A and B are shown apart, each in its own frame.
Chain A
Amino acid sequence: MTVVSVRKQGRNQRRVLPGFGIGMGLTVLYMSLIVLVPLSALLLNQTGLTWEKFWSVATDPRVLASYRVSLTTASLAALADTILGLLLAWVLVRYDFPGKKIWDALIDLPFALPTAVAGVALTAIYSYNGWIGSLLEPLGIKAAFSPLGITLALMFIGIPFVVRTVQPVLEDAERDTEEAAATLGAGRWRTFCTIILPGLLPPLLTGFALAFARGIGEYGSVVFISGNMPMKTEIAPLLIMTKLEQFDYAGATAVALILLLISFALLLGINLLQHWSRKTAR
C-alpha cells in the first residue's frame, strides 16, 4: 500500500513504468473484479432489505453491542500490535542474534495458520484451566471468554501486518542521521522521537490500519475464544452468521453494510492521517 521510498525522487523524472493508460486500466479492472463487484453483489442481491428493516437492525441493542465489542477489541488489538510490532521490527532489523532468520520467519506464521486453529490453540492456553489462564484466574483476570480473550486473538492475527510494514522502512532508514543527532548531543529519547519516529509513523499507521481492518472482519479464531455471549462478547461477524442461520439474508446484509461503512470511514480517516504525517515528516 505505502512503501515509502527514502531516496528523494524528482517529480519530473522519467517514469519507470510507461503507459499511464494501461496502468490505470489495470487498476480499475482489478479493483472492480476483486473489490467492487462482490461488494455491489452484496447489495443487489437484497430484495428484502427495506429502510425500515435496515433501521430496525441498525438500532437493535444486540447489534449495537456487537459493534461495540468488535470495534473496541479490534482497535485495542491493533494498538497493542503497533507498539509490539515496532519493537519486534526494531529487534529484527537492528540486532544480530542466533536464529534470527527463524524468528523472522515465525512472524508470518499467523498469516499461514488457519484462523480456526489459532482460535482453538489460544483458547486452550487462555481458558481458566489452560497454561496461562490458570495463572491469571487467581488474579481475578478472565482471559478466554471475555473481551480480553478476543483482543488477544486479534493481536495474534494482526501482528504480522505491523512488523512487515515497518521492517522495510526501518531497513532503509539511514543511520547517519541518528549518528549525527547523537554527535550533536541529542539523547536517546530525543533521537528516537525526532529522528526515527517521524519516518516510521506512516508505516506504523498502515500497520495499524491493516491490523484493525483484519480484526473487525475476523471470525474464525474469535468464535472459539470469545464465548459468544450476546451483549457481552458477541462480535458483529458472528451476528451476521446468526442471521444467515435464520435465513435472514436482509438482516445479515444490514449488519454487514453498517460494519463496512464504519470500517471504511475509520480506514479513510487513518489514510488521511497517514497522508498528513508523511507530509509533515518531509
Chain B
Amino acid sequence: MKKVFKQGVLIGLTMMLTAALAACGGEKADTVATAKGEAPAAGSGKPSLELLNVSYDPTRELYDQYNKAFAAHWEKEQGQKITFKQSHGGSGKQSRSVIDGLEADVVTLALGYDIDAIRQAGLIQEGWESKFEHNSAPYTSTIVFLVRKGNPKGIQDWPDLIKDGVEVITPNPQTSGGARWNYLAAWGYALKANNNDEAKAQEFVKELFTHVPVLDSGARGATTTFVERGIGDVLLAWENEAYLSINELGPDKFEIVNPSISILAEPPVAVVDKNVDKRGTREVAEAYLKYLYSEEGQTIAAENYYRPTLGSVADKYKDKFPAIELFTIKDVFGTWEETQTKHFNDGGIFNQIYVPGS
C-alpha cells in the first residue's frame, strides 16, 4: 500500500515537473531547433561576438561559405572573432519567428514583404530598403523553367506553358514566398504581351494555374514533386535553385530553359535594429551585410548561382547568367504591400482563380 502511494506521488511530481518544463520551454524550443551553429571559435584575446543570420531555405550553401569568408575578413581587419548561427526555413515563417522573438541580428529573406512585416512589428527602422545599395538586395535572381532532358514538350517561353497537355509545377504563392515571384513573373509577361491589359493577364495566369496538378506549400516540396515524383513537364524555379537541382541530380536528367522575359527577383537583407542595439552587435552586423557587396562577397554569391550586382563580378560570370529581359516589382506592380493586397490576400486575384464568384 505504501509503495503504491509513493509511486503515485512520484508520478504526480514528475507530471508537474514535465508541465512546468513544457510551459517554460515552449517559447524557446522553436528558435533553438532551427539554429545551426558554426564551429565555435577557440578562445582569443578580444571578446568574440556571435551573429544570428535568419535566412530562407536555398541560401544554406551560400551563407556557409560567406560566413567563413567574412569571419576571416573581420578577424584580419578588427582582430575580433565572429561566430555565426544560421537559421533557414520558409521566408514567411522565418519572418514570423523574428517577430515572435527570435533574436536575429540580420535577416536575409526571399522578398521585401517579409522584411517589411518585421518593420511593421517595430523591430526594423523605416527606410531599410535604401540602407544598402540596390534596394538592399546584394544579389538577385530570376525565374526560369526547369524541364526534363531533351525538352520533350518543346517548352521555350511562357505561352508554351498553357498548351494542351503541359503540366506546370509551382508552389502555392500564398504559402510560399518564393512562389510569389513565379506568379508575378507570369503576370508581368502576360501584361507585356497584351499591352498592359489586366483582364488578359488575369486570364493567362488563371489558365496557367489550371495546368498545375499539384500545388505544393513550399519551393522544396514543388522541387520534390517535379524531380522525385516525376510529375509535370516544367518546374517554375528560381534560377539559383534550378542550377542547384541540376548540380545535385546530374545534368543528364534536366535542363534549364530561359524565357524571353522574366522578373528580377531581389531577395533583400536588413539589420534588425532593435536586436543589434540590444546585443551591441550593430557595427559588425552592418559590416556583415555590407561585405556582401564586396568583390569577395559577390563572387561567393555568383558561385552559388545568384546574379551578382557588382559590375566587375557580373562581367566575370556573364556566361553563367544568360541575358534575359528582366522587369522589377517596382516597374510593374508598385510596392510589395500593394502587390500583396491585390494578388495574394483574401479576396485577391489568386483567390478568384480557384473560388468561383469571389
Contacts and interface: CB of A to CB of B under 8 A. Distances in A.
Contacts of B8: 16-17
Contact of A227 (B215, B224, B346): B215
Interface in A230-251: 230-231, 238, 241-242, 244-248, 251
Contact of B172 (A123, A145, A228, A248): A228
A251 B346 CA distance: 10
Interface in B142-200: 172, 174-177
A213 B199 CA distance: 44
B182 to A, nearest CB: 15
Interface stretch (B32-40, B76-84, B228-236, B272-280): B228-236
A120 B229 CA distance: 10
A205 B20 CA distance: 32
A124 B230 CA distance: 10
B175 A245 contact: yes
A246 B20 contact: no
Nearest to B174: A242
B122 to A, nearest CB: 14
B221 A62 contact: no
Interface in B113-162: 117
Interface stretch (A4-12, A29-37, A172-180, A257-265): A29-37
A26 B23 CA distance: 15
A29 B8 CA distance: 16
Contacts of B20: 33
Contacts, number: 100
Interface in A105-136: 120, 123-124, 127-130
Interface string A57-100: 10011100000000000000000000000000000000000000
Given A62-B354, A124-B229, A231-B355, A145 B213 contact: yes
Interface residues of A, number: 40
B23 A37 contact: yes
Nearest to A57: B346
A61 B355 contact: yes
Contacts of A251: 346
Nearest to A241: B175
B346 A248 contact: yes
Contacts of A120: 224
Given A120-B224, A129-B230, A230-B355, A246 B23 contact: no
Contact of B12 (A22, A38, A231, A244): A22
B217 A60 contact: no
A102 to B, nearest CB: 29
Judged by DSSP, the binding face of A is helix
Given A228-B217, A231-B355, A248-B345, A30 B231 contact: no
A227 B232 CA distance: 13
Contact of A247 (B22, B90, B96, B214): B96
Contact of A34 (B22, B117, B354): B22
A139 B345 CA distance: 39
A251 B345 CA distance: 11
A163 interface: no
Contacts of B174: 242, 245-246
A17 B5 contact: yes
Contacts of A248: 345-346
B16 A246 contact: no
Nearest to B95: A247
A33 B22 contact: yes
A26 to B, nearest CB: 5
A227 B4 contact: no
A22 B16 CA distance: 12
Contacts of A223: 216-217, 221
Q: Which among B26, B217, B355 has the greatest number of chain A C-beta atoms within 10 A?
A: B217
A68 to B, nearest CB: 14
Given A30-B16, A230-B355, A123 B229 contact: yes
A224 interface: yes
A185 interface: no
Query: Nearest 5 A-B pairs (CB), nearest first?
Result: A230-B354, A245-B92, A33-B19, A228-B215, A227-B214
21 contacts: A16-B8, A18-B5, A23-B12, A26-B15, A26-B16, A33-B20, A34-B23, A124-B229, A129-B230, A129-B231, A130-B229, A223-B216, A228-B216, A229-B214, A238-B175, A244-B96, A245-B90, A245-B92, A245-B93, A245-B177, A247-B96
Interface of A: 16-18, 22-23, 26, 29-30, 33-34, 37-38, 57, 60-62, 120, 123-124, 127-130, 145, 223-224, 227-231, 238, 241-242, 244-248, 251
